[in-house]
Structure 1
Amino acid sequence: MSRKRKKIYAALVDGATEGLAGRDLYDFVQKRCPKTSGKKIVRASLFGLTDPHLKDRNILNVIYDLAIRHRMDEVRPDEDHDDDDPNQAFPPGKKLGTRKDKESSAVPAAI
């Protein structure tokens, strides 16, 4: 992990340990790491969820909540996502590379 992400992660844990949550925690991290972006904060939060040394459930919940809330802020409210087919594996227009094998593509003739 990069040194910058470690600094952001440390700020997240320090703020959560002090009892900060939500927007207050986000502002705390912004003050300690003024050049950071929301994307970097979310990545550092996700690292916190995988850190085996961090075992306090409350801190993990606060960090998880921050990552989810901030990630969902990036989804524009004016976009309608209900039209998406949840069973569709790939977005429309996405072409998959196919390998046509002569044996597997042979269609038996109708008798």
Structure 2
Amino acid sequence: MDQNATSTLASKIPDLPYIDMGSGFVIGMAVGYFFKKSFKILLFLLGTAIVLLFALDQFEIIELHKEQLAHTVETGTGMFKQFGLFLKEKLADFGFAGTGSAIAGFALGVKMG
């Protein structure tokens, strides 16, 4: 291929964002994006379950105890925190957790998610 054909081909390929970023940034971005999406899914499922429990309590199908509901939500919150620590630990195992590019990628992934 001659130089003219190469430059013409390069001009037709669109600029892809993040294509020149390092692996730490891309991995951090993917983990951050996944973390935020999984948090949104967790909140959706939790909200659906709580509304369903409120409705069942209203129709007197079940008896809802405030203390048990609060304990269950606290347990779920603790499990999600453990999930976040697990992701951080895995990034550290691969050597990406402490790098600035991985942290910036994680922050961008959370913002994008």
TM, length-normalised to structure 2: 0.29
Structure number with higher relative contact order (C-alpha < 8 Å, ≥ 6 residues apart)? 2
Normalized per residue, the structure richer in helix is: 2
- TM-score, structure 1 as length reference: 0.29
